[in-house]
Chain A
């Protein structure tokens, strides 16, 4: 079952992209984009995992205890916070779109003319 974590990451990426491609509503599309992003969390944390290891915090365990990789955890931590704010930015764009064009359906939108 060595391939299972990578299969989960690939599945999340695929199903998220499927949602983006078939989306008929921008709010739904932004949700799908978050699912795509979740694939990177699974991939990174899977790469840094180690069986029978502790969290990379050496308060209770003496330094030197085998731990899971702290580098990918630091990457995912910042990624989560940035992802949340970027989602907010996209939702703000969707809100302004709805105010100006009265629709959230990508199919209904045509390029803006002068």
Chain B
């Protein structure tokens, strides 16, 4: 199909669908002033039943915990696919040379960038751990914390270049983080079943409200998600950065 015909088909579809979208938008309940029964039910139940103050975590890890297991496996599949596509061929060795694009100079690293990266990376990683740990009380959790930790670790590449980055990111450890995190989440569900309870039932002591270690089984699930997200994002960074290196001479394209 030529680009012109494709655009015409798209415009025809827009003309057909637009009146329906417009009618729907005008018929929607008043913005910000309609009842939210499901959310209100969670708000009313979770602080008393589960002793957590972060409703989003209560939903992710408890009331809709089974959904999060599915999300976890989607994460695992997407990252596994990326790794399968990109692993091998180049960049595996510490001393792998940077790839060269003709006509583009490789600028030397500024010392200011190295200093700032080395100073801020540990602080950012620590902040990520803090965000991940406080999932049950304040805004945060394994998903957000894991991404912050991975971003902080990536600063090793800016500060110390490729060899420095490779020294802090061992792909075997990251594989274990990613798979182990997802497995930990699934095992939480099976642990409930071993005790004769339904899948993912919260059977651990739930602690006191506003305490970091409240929420029982949710804490373990949150740790699993945190490990899996940290491992996933670092694996993605690792595989994409390997692509910036030159090929080994004996390998194909």
Smallest CB–CB gap between A51 and chain B, Å? 4
Which of A10, A57, A95 is within 8 Å of B54, CB to CB?
A: A57
Tell yes or no: A64 within 8 A of B by CB: yes
Inter-subunit contact B53/A92 (CB<8 Å): no
Enumerate chain A residues within 8 angstroms of B137, measured Cβ to Cβ: 59
Known: A2-B30, A17-B10, A92-B82. A67 touches B39 (CB 8 A): yes
Roughly how many angstroms separate A2 CA and B29 CA in the complex, as a whole number? 8
Interface residues of A in 1-51 (CB under 8 A from B): 1-7, 10, 14, 17-18, 21-22, 24, 46, 48-51
Tell yes or no: B117 within 8 A of A by CB: no
The B contact surface, by secondary structure, is: helix
Enumerate chain A residues within 8 angstroms of B44, measured Cβ to Cβ: 63-64
Known: A57-B139, A82-B71, A95-B243. A6 touches B56 (CB 8 A): no
Inter-subunit contact A10/B21 (CB<8 Å): yes
Inter-subunit contact A81/B75 (CB<8 Å): yes
Roughly how many angstroms separate A50 CA and B81 CA in the complex, as a whole number? 39
Inter-subunit contact A56/B85 (CB<8 Å): no
Inter-subunit contact B78/A86 (CB<8 Å): yes
B6, B14, B21, B43: most-surrounded residue (chain A CB, <10 A): B43
Tell yes or no: B101 within 8 A of A by CB: no
Inter-subunit contact A70/B210 (CB<8 Å): no
Inter-subunit contact B7/A21 (CB<8 Å): yes
Enumerate chain B residues within 8 angstroms of A17, measured Cβ to Cβ: 10
- Bits for A61-91, please: 1 = Cβ < 8 Å to B, else 0: 0011001111111100110111011101101
Tell yes or no: B206 within 8 A of A by CB: no
Known: A50-B33, A56-B56, A71-B59. A100 touches B253 (CB 8 A): yes
A-B CB pair tally, cutoff 8 Å? 150
Inter-subunit contact A50/B36 (CB<8 Å): yes
A7, A51, A71, A81: most-surrounded residue (chain B CB, <10 A): A81
Q: Which of B105-113, B155-163, B182-190, B232-240 contacts A (4 or more CB under 8 A)?
A: B232-240
Known: A57-B139, A59-B53, A82-B71. A21 touches B10 (CB 8 A): yes
Known: A22-B3, A63-B47, A92-B86. A5 touches B78 (CB 8 A): no
Tell yes or no: B32 within 8 A of A by CB: yes
B36, B54, B138: most-surrounded residue (chain A CB, <10 A): B36
Q: Which residue of A lies closest to B137 (CB)?
A: A59
Inter-subunit contact B36/A74 (CB<8 Å): no
Enumerate chain A residues within 8 angstroms of B43, measured Cβ to Cβ: 56, 58, 63-64, 67, 70
Tell yes or no: A107 within 8 A of B by CB: yes
Smallest CB–CB gap between A77 and chain B, Å? 6
Enumerate chain B residues within 8 angstroms of A55, measured Cβ to Cβ: 139
Chain B positions within 8 Å of A, measured between CB atoms, are: 3, 6-7, 10, 14, 21, 24-26, 28, 30-33, 36, 38-39, 42-44, 47-48, 53-56, 58-60, 64, 67-68, 71, 74-75, 78-79, 81-82, 85-86, 137-139, 141, 143-144, 147, 210, 229, 232-233, 236, 239-240, 243, 253
The 8 A-B residue pairs with the shortest CB-CB distance, nearest first, are A69-B39, A70-B55, A56-B55, A6-B25, A63-B47, A85-B78, A74-B59, A51-B32
